[in-house]
Structure 1
Amino acid sequence: MDPLSVLKTMWRYKWVSVPMVLVTVLACAYGLLWAPGTYESKATFALAMPKVPTDLEIEADPDLADVNQDNPYLRWRDTSLLAQVVIARVHSVEVADRLEAEGLDADYDLVPPDGTGSGMMNLTVTAESPETASMAAVILSEEFDRIMNDVQKINGADDSYLIESIPVSGPTPPEEVFSSRLRSTAVLGAGGVVLLLGAVSLAQSIDRVRRRSQPSKGTQRGDARSAAHAGTLDNNGTPSSQGSVTAKQPLPIHGPADFEVGADGDGRGVRATDVNRASVGANADAAPLVGADQGAQDARRVHASANR
């Protein structure tokens, strides 16, 4: 179906399509201008390796040798392993329960920056209000630092041997994400279009059923004409199921009523009226409806024969 046919069909059923279009436009306007927005707050952290004492420093200060150096994440040359562990812990149920306990309904994500290696972490918090986004970003930043220390001290390592988390930026002031409004508007618009097409299709189906259930005017006129020809219309002008019987009525014969036409076989006089009645009675079964002109012609023919 081409777009022009769709537009013609929608205009044909404009009593359905026009209200649906207005509702869709109002819904899109609401989603774009007045619907609750989404606010976002961000924070960035850098992971710095600790300064491990050298052998000369340990010889100069023997107490440094007694410090617990057992940080399992220092066995890797970078912070990639620690970053993956911290990401998994931040997205755990434990952190989500703390946000819920604070009455904060927010979504968040902690990932390394795109296109960079290890050593940087980006925290993004989204919520339906700027206050919720700001408070959730602060709490998640605290949880990030706490988890960093907990996972590195699993073996009791000293603080001087821990990988340090350095705040680079944030938490930033919450900013509205305009793309969320666009997504809401697009969803409302798509839903309105689906409802519009469904309403027009339903109206078209109802119209087809109604047309099939009602006979056309041409059919009614044809039935009335046939019934009138058969003489079987009832009081409402509709064909009756019972046929009517037309009584056979002898038509009067116009012309001279009494005159002698001659003698019959017995020598008695025959009146023209008797001849006409005999003629009509003989033809009554063959032709029940005889016109007045035909009767007059029969009378003149009998009269002429008698004169001969």
Structure 2
Amino acid sequence: MDPLSVLKTMWTHKWVTVPMVLLIGLACAYSMLWAPRTYESTATFALAMPKIPTEQELEEEPSLAKLNADNPYLRWQDTSLLAQVVIDRVNSAEVHEGLVERGLEGEYELSPPDGTSSGLMKLTVSADSKQSARDTVGFLSAEFSRILYEVQKVNQADDLYVIDALPVSGPTPAEEIFSSRLRSTLLIGAAGLVVLFGVVSLAESVRAARQRSRSRAEQRAAGATESTKETGTWVTAADPALRGNAPDLPVLGRQTASVPVPVAPVPDDRAHGRESPKVPAHAAR
């Protein structure tokens, strides 16, 4: 559809368009200026592989050979499997209940940075306040370390053979996520425009329906007038004095129209040198 036609239609229904545009503008302004903010805090960890004793070290220190080295996650060349297990445990209902008990709210995500399997784990927390974001990332960092340790002790492996989580950065100070505020504003604006176009379309449909009804009524009235002209004639009183100022009235029913009969003019005998016949006096009387 032509944009000019859309604008013209919207202006035609300005009694709907103007209030809707004002409401959308106020909603977007509220979302941008006064709506609740979202703050984010992050923490990054590195999964460090343990230093496994060599054969020579085991021979030199027999006590090392007696340690339990049955850590199932050391059978893989990297820490991708361990990272996935820890992620699933951190996202479990157990950790969520711990957040609720401490009155902490917000959303969080634990994943390798940019989806890589480099041994780094990034914890991202978003909350409605700075304090809540800091407290939540602190609690989840402790839970991450605890779960990482527990899953490796499934076979009671000695701590020497446990993969450690080394803090790399964070928890960072909570900062506002401006993109979240902008995204909310755009969503409100888009939803408002959809509602606006829907209301204008409804108003246009009502207007078109009224025009069709008016056109049909005018066509019926015009048809009735044509029918009256075909089946009726105008009758006028012969004497204007009797009619006065009364208008001509249609008489329904088919009428016989009077056709004037031509009358031949009376010849003038004097014009031809003949005299008119004389009428006797007694006949004249």
| TM-score category of the 2 structures, normalised to the smaller one | 0.7 to 0.9
Mapping for residues 25-174 of structure 1, pairs under 5 Å: 25-114=25-114, 116-174=116-174
Q: CA deviation at 1:6?
A: 0.6
Letter in 1 for 2:126: T
Letter in 1 for 2:183: R
Q: Indicate how the Cα distance of structure 1 residues 82 and 217 shifts in structure 2: closer, same or farther if over 3 A, else same.
A: closer
Paired with 1:3 and 1:25, the residues of 2 have a C-alpha distance of 21
Q: Indicate how the Cα distance of structure 1 residues 217 and 62 shifts in structure 2: closer, same or farther if over 3 A, else same.
A: closer
137-146 vs 206-215, greater mean Cα deviation? 206-215
Letter in 2 for 1:8: K
Q: CA deviation at 1:119?
A: 1.6
TM-score, normalised via structure 2 length = 0.75
Q: Indicate how the Cα distance of structure 1 residues 90 and 216 shifts in structure 2: closer, same or farther if over 3 A, else same.
A: closer
Paired with 2:71 and 2:217, the residues of 1 have a C-alpha distance of 95
Q: Indicate how the Cα distance of structure 1 residues 223 and 54 shifts in structure 2: closer, same or farther if over 3 A, else same.
A: closer
Q: Kindly tell me the number of residue pairs found equivalent between the two proteins.
A: 256
Paired with 1:176 and 1:141, the residues of 2 have a C-alpha distance of 20
Paired with 2:154 and 2:81, the residues of 1 have a C-alpha distance of 15
Paired with 1:249 and 1:80, the residues of 2 have a C-alpha distance of 112
2:14 — aligned with what? 14
Paired with 1:145 and 1:15, the residues of 2 have a C-alpha distance of 62
Paired with 1:286 and 1:5, the residues of 2 have a C-alpha distance of 57
Q: Indicate how the Cα distance of structure 1 residues 89 and 222 shifts in structure 2: closer, same or farther if over 3 A, else same.
A: closer
Higher Cα radius of gyration: 1
Letter in 1 for 2:173: P
The runs of 5 or more residues in structure 1 that have no matched partner are: 231-242, 253-284, 291-297, 302-306
Find the residue that maps to 2:113 and give its secondary structure: coil
Paired with 1:178 and 1:133, the residues of 2 have a C-alpha distance of 15
- Percent identity of paired positions between Structure 1 and Structure 2: 57
Q: CA deviation at 1:78?
A: 2.3
Mapping for residues 177-256 of structure 1, pairs under 5 Å: 177-214=177-214
Q: Indicate how the Cα distance of structure 1 residues 111 and 226 shifts in structure 2: closer, same or farther if over 3 A, else same.
A: closer
Paired with 2:213 and 2:99, the residues of 1 have a C-alpha distance of 64
Paired with 1:121 and 1:145, the residues of 2 have a C-alpha distance of 11
The runs of 5 or more residues in structure 2 that have no matched partner are: 241-254, 267-277, 280-285
Letter in 2 for 1:205: S
Q: CA deviation at 1:54?
A: 2.8
Q: Indicate how the Cα distance of structure 1 residues 119 and 7 shifts in structure 2: closer, same or farther if over 3 A, else same.
A: same
Letter in 2 for 1:58: L
Q: Indicate how the Cα distance of structure 1 residues 205 and 64 shifts in structure 2: closer, same or farther if over 3 A, else same.
A: same
Q: CA deviation at 1:222?
A: 6.4
Deviation per CA, 1:132-165, whole angstroms, max 9, x where unpaired?
A: 2211111110110011110111111111211111
Q: Which has the higher contact order (CA 8 A, sep 6+)?
A: 2
Q: Indicate how the Cα distance of structure 1 residues 13 and 67 shifts in structure 2: closer, same or farther if over 3 A, else same.
A: same
Contact 1:83 1:118 survives alignment (8 Å): no
Q: Indicate how the Cα distance of structure 1 residues 137 and 249 shifts in structure 2: closer, same or farther if over 3 A, else same.
A: closer
Paired with 2:62 and 2:148, the residues of 1 have a C-alpha distance of 28
Q: CA deviation at 1:114?
A: 2.2
Paired with 1:52 and 1:183, the residues of 2 have a C-alpha distance of 49
Paired with 1:67 and 1:24, the residues of 2 have a C-alpha distance of 69
Q: CA deviation at 1:251?
A: 5.4
Deviation per CA, 1:69-120, whole angstroms, max 9, x where unpaired?
A: 2111122232222112111211222212211222222211111122743321
1:258 — aligned with what? none
Q: CA deviation at 1:48?
A: 0.9
Contact 1:38 1:126 survives alignment (8 Å): yes
Letter in 2 for 1:96: H
Please report the RMSD computed on the Cα atoms of aligned residues, expressed in angstroms.
3.8
Contact 2:79 2:117 survives alignment (8 Å): no
